[in-house]
Amino acid sequence: MLQKNLENRAKLLISCPDRPGIVSAISNFLYKQGANIVQSDQYTTDPEGGMFYMRIEFDLNDFDTAFPRIQSEFLPIAEDFSIEWRLESEKRIKKMAIFVSKEDHCLLELLWKWRSGELIVDIPLVISNHPDLKETVEFYGIPYYHIPVTKETKAEAEEKQIQLLKEYDIDFIALARYMQILSPSFVSEFPQKIINIHHSFLPAFIGANPYQRAFQRGVKLIGATAHYVTDDLDEGPIIEQDVLRVNHQYTADQLKIVGRNAERLTLARAVTWHKEDRIITFGNKTIVFS
pLDDT score for 89: 96
Inter-residue contact 52 to 81 (CB < 8 Å): no
For residue range 151-178, list pLDDT tens digits in order.
999 999 999 999 999 999 999 999 999 9
Residues 214-240 have a mean pLDDT of 85
Shared domain check, 267 and 243? yes
pLDDT score for 1: 55
Which residue segment(s) compose the domain that 44 sits in?
A: 4-89
pLDDT score for 204: 65
Q: What is the DSSP string of the chain?
A: ---GGGTTEEEEEEEEE--TTHHHHHHHHHHHTTEEEEEEEEEES-TTT-EEEEEEEEEETTHHHHHHHHHHHTHHHHHHTT-EEEEEETTSPPBEEEEE-S--HHHHHHHHHHHHTSS--B---EEESSSTTHHHHHHTT--EEE----TTTHHHHHHHHHHHHHHTT--EEEESS--SPPPHHHHHHSTT-EEEEESSSTTTT-SS-HHHHHHHHT-SEEEEEEEE--SSTT-SPEEEEEEEE--TT--HHHHHHHHHHHHHHHHHHHHHHHHTT-EEEETTEEEE--
Name the band, by pLDDT with cuts 50, 70 and 90, for residue 188.
very high
Shared domain check, 243 and 119? yes
| Active-site residue set | 234
Shared domain check, 23 and 133? no
pLDDT above 90: percentage of residues in the chain? 78
Which residue in 102, 23, 41 sits closest to 273, CA to CA?
41
CATH number for 175: 3.40.50.170
Q: How many domains is the chain partitioned into structurally?
A: 2
CATH number for 75: 3.30.70.260
Shared domain check, 58 and 202? no
Burial of 178 (0-12, 13-18, 19+ CB in 10 A): buried
- Whether pLDDT at 2 is above 70: no
Chain centre distance of CA 139: 25
- Whether pLDDT at 87 is above 60: yes
- Residue 123, classed as helix, strand or coil, is coil
pLDDT score for 206: 63
pLDDT score for 207: 61
Name the band, by pLDDT with cuts 50, 70 and 90, for residue 212.
confident
Shared domain check, 107 and 174? yes
Residue 182 DSSP label:
P
Shared domain check, 150 and 50? no
Shared domain check, 23 and 147? no
Name the band, by pLDDT with cuts 50, 70 and 90, for residue 258.
confident
Q: For the chain, give the mean pLDDT.
A: 92
Shared domain check, 263 and 126? yes
- Domain end call among 70, 89, 108: 89
Shared domain check, 115 and 215? yes
- Whether pLDDT at 259 is above 90: no
- Domain end call among 89, 119, 151: 89
Shared domain check, 254 and 110? yes
Residues 222-230 have a mean pLDDT of 92
- Whether pLDDT at 68 is above 80: yes
For residue range 117-143, list pLDDT tens digits in order.
999 999 999 999 999 999 999 999 999
pLDDT score for 208: 64
- Domain end call among 89, 108, 143: 89
Shared domain check, 141 and 13? no
Q: Can you state the angle between helices 252-275 and 210-217, rounded to 10 degrees? A: 120
pTM over 0.85: yes
pLDDT score for 199: 77
pLDDT score for 203: 55
Residues 233-252 have a mean pLDDT of 86
pLDDT score for 51: 95
Shared domain check, 214 and 283? yes
| Among 64-78, 90-104, 224-238, 244-258, the least confident range | 244-258
pLDDT score for 48: 76
